[in-house]
Amino acid sequence: MDEAIAEWTRDVSRVAVLTGAGISTDSGIPDYRGPDGVWTRDPAAADVFTYARFMSDPQVRTRFWRRYVDHAAWHAAPNAGHRALADLERSGRAVRILTQNIDGLHQKAGSSPRKVLELHGTMHEVVCTGCRTRTPSATVLSRVAAGEADPSCPDCGAILKLGVVMFGEHLNPATISAAEQVARACHLMLAVGSSLQVEPAASLCAVAVEAGARLVIVNRDPTPYDALAAGLVREPIGAVLPRITAALADSASRAAG
């Protein structure tokens, strides 16, 4: 594996990292589609993440807020994978993180917020579907914890939703455009802990490869993009990602010297 890592990281100065739920499982946040994933165990749970259902059914909204008021992500700490990517940035390597996750753990680990593109939004903000006002999630969750089942906007009375992209919603055009630019400019694309089944985020792998980058996929299970990859890693993320980032940091240090 070390020889393969040396080959993948050779002549690389710009790195893009696409991260999915698998990078956060070591922090105690369950993934969605894995063998013990949230939607694998309870397929109906995906209903509460569907925009049309959320907007039209107060009972769905009640289930959504009840699910998130005590979600594991509120208390989660970054793990070795998150810290490895933050350390890579601190080494001076040009690195951008394109994350499908909404948990904010990359920033909590020390990655610069401006270098983290949250493709699917963030759970740390709530947005009003009427006046579009954004507020910290803690403000709304405290209302839910106090017994308000379906909180509405205190300013205009419209429906509130977590600041995340639900099924049936489009990604922010500016965010996905910026992510595509990063993918086209990188020399190495690391896809870490993502099933690569959710588009258009997954297609960033193809964008990178078509622009000449190497693609290395670090994921427990096969993905639809495996055939494009220069390397496939099935080892635990927390064990192998620090080795990959250390090799990248070491090569950056040698280049600077």
Verify that 157 and 54 share a domain, yes or no: yes
Q: Evaluate whether 112 touches 90 at the Cβ level (below 8 Å).
A: no
Domain boundary among 164, 182, 197: 164
Domain boundary among 164, 192, 219: 164
Verify that 96 and 198 share a domain, yes or no: yes
Q: Evaluate whether 49 touches 60 at the Cβ level (below 8 Å).
A: no
Nearest to 9 by CA among 240, 252, 254, 247: 247
Verify that 50 and 107 share a domain, yes or no: no
Given a cut of 60, whether residue 255 has pLDDT beyond it is: no
Verify that 226 and 149 share a domain, yes or no: no
Output the CA–CA distances (angstroms, integers) from residue 223 to 197, 229, 233, in the order listed. 7, 10, 11
pLDDT band at residue 257 under the 50/70/90 scheme: very low
pLDDT band at residue 165 under the 50/70/90 scheme: very high
Verify that 112 and 63 share a domain, yes or no: no
Catalytic pick from 120, 124, 170, 187? 120
Domain boundary among 134, 164, 194: 164
Mean pLDDT value across residues 204-224: 97
Rounded distance, CA 109 to CA 77, Å? 8
Verify that 136 and 181 share a domain, yes or no: no
Nearest to 81 by CA among 14, 13, 19, 16: 19
205 marked ligand binding residue: no
Rounded distance, CA 51 to CA 37, Å? 21
Verify that 65 and 146 share a domain, yes or no: yes
Q: How many domains does the chain have?
A: 2
pLDDT band at residue 252 under the 50/70/90 scheme: low
Q: Evaluate whether 105 touches 81 at the Cβ level (below 8 Å).
A: no
For residue 124, indicate whether it is catalytic.
no
Return mean pLDDT, the chain.
92
Give the angle 99-77-215 at the CA atoms, nearest 5°: 30
pLDDT band at residue 31 under the 50/70/90 scheme: confident
What lies within 8 Å, CB to CB, of 3 at 6+ separation is none
Q: Evaluate whether 152 touches 166 at the Cβ level (below 8 Å).
A: no
In this prediction, residue 49 carries a pLDDT of: 86
Residue 215 CB neighbour total at 10 angstroms: 25
Verify that 135 and 200 share a domain, yes or no: no
What lies within 8 Å, CB to CB, of 128 at 6+ separation is 134, 153, 155, 156, 158, 159, 160
Nearest to 218 by CA among 206, 208, 231: 231
Q: Which residue has the higher pLDDT, 69 or 38?
A: 69
What lies within 8 Å, CB to CB, of 201 at 6+ separation is 18, 98, 100, 119, 120, 171, 176, 179, 194
Verify that 130 and 11 share a domain, yes or no: no
186 marked ligand binding residue: no
Verify that 183 and 97 share a domain, yes or no: yes
- Residue 225's domain spans which residues? 1-29+79-120+170-257
CATH of the domain at 71: 3.30.1600.10
Verify that 179 and 231 share a domain, yes or no: yes
CATH of the domain at 224: 3.40.50.1220
Tens of pLDDT, residue by residue over 66-100, are: 988 988 899 999 999 999 999 999 999 999 999 99
By residue count, the chain amounts to 257
156 marked ligand binding residue: yes
Residue 15 CB neighbour total at 10 angstroms: 25
Verify that 135 and 196 share a domain, yes or no: no
In this prediction, residue 120 carries a pLDDT of: 97
